[in-house]
Amino acid sequence: MLIEYNEMCKFRRKNQQGYVTIEYAIVTAAVTIALLMPIPGPNESIVDMTLAAIKQFQAHTTTMLALP
């Protein structure tokens, strides 16, 4: 009985090995597409909006630090 159980576990592990890689590839592709697609209103992607916000924050912080 113990031998049959061990063989079943090995068979199950072999069948499930490729699923994680496929799932990771699908999720990564979906997130990448979602980040790079343009938003309907401003016609920019989320990445462009984030970079613009970081640049604007940096400009304001540098100006504020330069004040006496």
pLDDT(12) > 70: no
Residue that has been written with the tokens 């979906």 in this structure: 30
Whether the per-residue pLDDT at 28 is higher than 80: the answer is yes
Q: Is 33's pLDDT higher than 80?
A: yes
Mean pLDDT along residues 48-64: 86
More confident: 37 or 42: 37
Decide: helix, strand or coil at residue 67.
coil
pTM: 0.47
DSSP labels, 12-57? HHHHHHHHHHHHHHHHHHHHHHHHHSBPTTT--BHHHHHHHHHHHH
Q: Considering its fold, how many domains does the chain have in total?
A: 1
Domain encompassing residue 49:
2-66
Residue 16 banded pLDDT, cuts 50, 70, 90? low
